[in-house]
Structure 1
Amino acid sequence: MPTPRPPGPIAVADLDLAELGGDVLSFHCADTPEGDVHALVRLRGRPVGTVLGHVPPGADPARTLAALARERLTGHREPPPETYGDLPRTSVVVATRERAGQLARALDSLLAQDHPDYEVVVVDNAPRTGATRELVERTYTGRVRYVREDAPGLAAAHNRGVAAADGTVIAFTDDDVVADPHWLTALTGPFTDDPRIGCVTGLILPARLRTPAQVLLESHGGFAKGFTPRTYDPERPPADQPLFPFTAGSFGSGANMAFRATALRDAGGFDPATGTGTPARGGDDLYAFVAVLAAGHRLRYTPDALVRHHHRETWQDLRDQAYGYGAGLTACLTALAVRRPALLPALLARLPRGLAHARAMTAARTASPGPAAPGAPGAPVTGPAAPGEHGAYHHPWPRSLSRLERRGMLYGPVGYARARLRAARGRAREAG
């Protein structure tokens, strides 16, 4: 069997229409809009879907993609108008480590938000140099707050941000994203509508699709969760997710999430033995989602809250990511069993089916080269293909990546135990 040809680069575009197939209100493309193009389609500014199409040389890319949108997104209606009340005071927390160049790009987008009342807090996690502090103090003085967290790990950095935040809502994003100007308004608006909402997550789309690794990740789901808003209520478990609430991979991702500050603090914040930068490799966001739901709060997913994510560029990055997703999943489940023993009976009852489903999902990705379900590899439940995502990807998921994911799942509990041990030793050194 011939070796599949690595996928080539795909241009990333943003197309705003008055109606599907109607007048083009705006068009922007991060690359030369020729050849294969992955376009976000908006209706009067509101995201409704994506199309993947080919723009021939000399063709008008906006008109070509508008025609594809009319053909492939038939039946989509303009979203209802937003009717938020007074938006809550919000703190945006960005954890970072030695990536000042990427951080500057993210901060520029965060400072351009249309939200009327917010602050930006940068948490410098276990820094080796003063580059991040210098950037914030030199370029963003008076507009961005700088705090430092010496304990390594994303969850520890997020907890430091929670302690420093003064908002009634605390939003989190990463240093490798570019936030849409309306992101924070859309992400925090649902808190004003429903006092039972404890967490809101949003849409994550690629900023670039230039390398084979980036294209492969996005062609099998990336981080997107679709274009249909959804509310998850622990009092009314969703019928299509029998593993709920242990289906955190379908709720959202850490690069685009916000919590009611009281709900997150009452839940104990993030487990510092999880997350990137610890032996657990991930799972910090998944743990927080389940913890807030387990406390009786609702979780809302809204595609109006959009960030563009700069996917990792190399094959080794993708290998590390696949392993980390698997490890983070089972590290999260272990953390829930250790820190929330009341959930243990429900977790044990669902665990065999959940792990079998996760294994089946990795096998299905390997067997099927088409567009995958939304959600990062390793998510215990991802569901059907995301509504509004249409394209013609034909890149099979390598079996080696599925094997790495499964190996990560086996390692996750060990990684979590190692992370807890390391944290305990750190506390002992500080006390001594």
Structure 2
Amino acid sequence: MKFSILIPAYNEEKSISTCLDSLLSVTYPDKEIIVIDDASSDHTVKEVETFASRGVILVKREKNGGRAAALNSGLSRATGEIVVTTDADTGVSPHWLTLFERHFADEEVIAVGGAYKAQNKGNPLANATSVLDQILNGTFRKTFIPNKVSGVNSAIRRDTLLDLGGFNESAWWSEDSELGWKLDKTGKVIYDPENVVYTQYPDTWEGIWRRKFYWGYAMGLKFRQHMPFRLKLWIRPTVFMALFVSLVVFLATIPCGMRVYFVPGLFFGTLLSALTLVYVPIGAIVMIRTGDTGLAKTLPLLAILPIFREFAYVYGMFLGYCKGKPSALKPSWKRKQGKKKL
């Protein structure tokens, strides 16, 4: 079984060499590494060319088209039965492809998604975001997240990917979510929390907001196309709306006295605690188990971060559903040169 690893890159001169060293250390023998330069304006191409003697394939695009377009350019060059996607600022383990291979022994499996953690966990905000993802993706096994694949760590059968038309180039905001929906309707998709890669996380509140907003926007567009009757897709917007409504009722009834505002206030406080403070003890357990020593700086952020991210996500869903067209939004791939897409 041959694997084709696709790495889209746009102004990644500072990280691409480390990424390629990591990929070349993967012990699986039958693999090809394809870097797609999406018309970078820095020295990304020169950095990749130094790896040509080690078998790394470089595909150069003359015009910047976005992550999905870059992936499609790489897909056209791929010869492996399995296509793997990751990012140019990501590191993998030597057994990365072997962990994917064991799942594809089952011919019914068409795609496998892996986990991801912060490579820059020295930054408390990035680490808190990573821990929160570990809770949602690992502890809860993506119970509240419908998409099992991610652009940073996924493997898909090439024939299936081609049959689906490749990556959606108009879905620059979340091409992996778009593909995940299609794959889920096509065949068996698996999420493996043990297959972990390490990538750069957003380390600012703005970066976190944009990341969750775009994911929510993509989900909102899906809801606009059709209202899916899958309970877990409704959990997040329903819970957040309940939180918002209870807050409004609580504030509106304060002038009426405690007998009136007590019930909505209690409901709001209980729901807010469930969405925030519950993550602090779970996060502490996750960090202790993984040997993370940054508890003092990270845990307080876990009391705030969940509600902040959910607000960005649900707000994005609302705009995606109502607006339907992303033309007014600027692709995050092009937002900042030399920075990771969010």
Report if TM-score (shorter chain) is over 0.5.
yes
Say whether the 8 Å CA contact 1:220–1:370 is kept in structure 2.
no
1:314 pairs with 2:204: yes
- When the two structures are superposed, what TM-score results if normalisation uses the length of structure 1? 0.58
Q: Which has the bigger relative contact order, CA under 8 A and spacing at least 6?
A: 2
**In 2 relative to 1, CA 413–307 (structure 1 residues): closer, same or farther, beyond 3 Å?**
same
**In 2 relative to 1, CA 219–358 (structure 1 residues): closer, same or farther, beyond 3 Å?**
farther
Secondary structure class of the residue paired with 2:113: strand
1:107 pairs with 2:4: no
Q: Structure 2 CA distance, aligned partners of 1:273 and 1:123?
A: 18
Corresponding residue for 2:109?
197
Say whether the 8 Å CA contact 1:93–1:121 is kept in structure 2.
yes
Structure 1 residue 253: Cα displacement? 1.9
Say whether the 8 Å CA contact 1:323–1:407 is kept in structure 2.
yes
Q: Which has the higher strand share?
A: 1
Structure 1 residue 200: Cα displacement? 0.8
Secondary structure class of the residue paired with 1:226: helix
Secondary structure class of the residue paired with 2:198: strand
Secondary structure class of the residue paired with 1:174: coil
Secondary structure class of the residue paired with 2:162: helix
1:396 pairs with 2:287: no
1:96 pairs with 2:16: no
**In 2 relative to 1, CA 109–319 (structure 1 residues): closer, same or farther, beyond 3 Å?**
same
Q: Structure 2 CA distance, aligned partners of 1:176 and 1:263?
A: 27
**In 2 relative to 1, CA 320–116 (structure 1 residues): closer, same or farther, beyond 3 Å?**
same
Matches for 1:90-169 after TM superposition, within 5 Å: 90-129=3-42, 131-149=43-61, 150-169=63-82
One-letter amino acid of the counterpart of residue 166, structure 1: T
Q: Structure 2 CA distance, aligned partners of 1:407 and 1:223?
A: 22
Matches for 1:49-68 after TM superposition, within 5 Å: none
- When the two structures are superposed, what TM-score results if normalisation uses the length of structure 2? 0.72
Q: Which runs of 5+ in 1 are unaligned?
A: 1-87, 231-239, 242-246, 276-280, 338-346, 373-384, 423-432
Say whether the 8 Å CA contact 2:8–2:70 is kept in structure 1.
yes
Corresponding residue for 1:405?
313
Cα deviation digits, residues 258-294 of structure 1 (max 9, x gap): 100011111122211113xxxxx22x11221221221
CA RMSD of aligned residues (A): 3.4
Corresponding residue for 2:276?
368
Q: Structure 2 CA distance, aligned partners of 1:171 and 1:254?
A: 9
Secondary structure class of the residue paired with 1:161: helix
**In 2 relative to 1, CA 323–349 (structure 1 residues): closer, same or farther, beyond 3 Å?**
closer
Corresponding residue for 1:257?
154
Cα deviation digits, residues 229-262 of structure 1 (max 9, x gap): 99xxxxxxxxx78xxxxx533x142211010001
Q: Structure 2 CA distance, aligned partners of 1:324 and 1:421?
A: 9
Q: Structure 2 CA distance, aligned partners of 1:229 and 1:155?
A: 26
Say whether the 8 Å CA contact 2:279–2:303 is kept in structure 1.
no
Corresponding residue for 1:216?
128
One-letter amino acid of the counterpart of residue 293, structure 1: D
Say whether the 8 Å CA contact 2:240–2:314 is kept in structure 1.
no
Structure 1 residue 220: Cα displacement? 2.2
Say whether the 8 Å CA contact 1:121–1:145 is kept in structure 2.
yes
Q: Structure 1 CA distance, aligned partners of 2:313 and 2:97?
A: 33
168, 178, 192: which one aligns with 1:287:
178
Q: Which runs of 5+ in 2 are unaligned?
A: 244-270, 289-294, 331-342
Structure 1 residue 412: Cα displacement? 2.7
